[in-house]
Amino acid sequence: MTGTNHGITGAAIALLVREPVVAIPLSYASHFVCDVIPHFDMTFGDKLFGKKFNITLICDFFAAATLMILFGFLFPSQKWIIWACMIVAASPDLAWAYYYLYSDRLKHRKLKPDPITRWHSQIQWSQTLKGGYVEAVWFLLMGLIILTRR
Ligand SMILES: [Zn+2]
């Protein structure tokens, strides 16, 4: 799923649960639940960190950062738990940056992904352009949950 949807899911969890000890691990777990749901193929059928992927990734990053700022204004007293849950919910995807950018490009060798990253890759059974519709519905659903918490 896009980082924006992982982030908005983390924000919804933060506002529903409110208890950091529960909300933060739940946000981490939500990443994998979201990745099982058929979702948008950010590579557009090309490779990870290809041109189309990178452009989408930059847009995705700015959309997620904009949401963080917006939620900071909408929920000033809960902004720290919201921000923490958003970052934690999106964090498992940082493994891709590590493996594809750090090990491949800088070290010029392919590292074997760790078991969690391998499993993380295998659970994403459906990544298509049509998965963008699923992501739009998910975004609206999470947005609705968040707005009802005001
Ligand atoms: Zn992921």
The pTM for the full model equals: 0.94
CA distance to 33, 40, 52, 82, 106, per residue, from 137 (Å) = 16, 12, 23, 21, 38
Q: How far is CA 74 from the centre of its chain?
A: 21
Mean confidence (pLDDT) of the chain: 94
User: What are the structure tokens assigned to 129, written together?
Assistant: 């352009």
- C-alpha torsion sign, points 45, 138, 142, 27: negative
Across the strands, what pairs with 40?
A: 128
pLDDT tens digits, 54-67: 999 999 999 999 99
Given a cut of 80, whether residue 8 has pLDDT beyond it is yes
Determine the distance separating the centroid of ligand 1 and the alpha carbon of 23, expressed in angstroms. Answer: 18
pLDDT tens digits, 82-129: 999 999 999 999 998 888 877 766 666 777 888 999 999 999 999 999
Determine the distance separating the centroid of ligand 1 and the alpha carbon of 76, expressed in angstroms. Answer: 28
CB 57 within 8 A of CB 97: no
Determine the distance separating the centroid of ligand 1 and the alpha carbon of 87, expressed in angstroms. Answer: 13
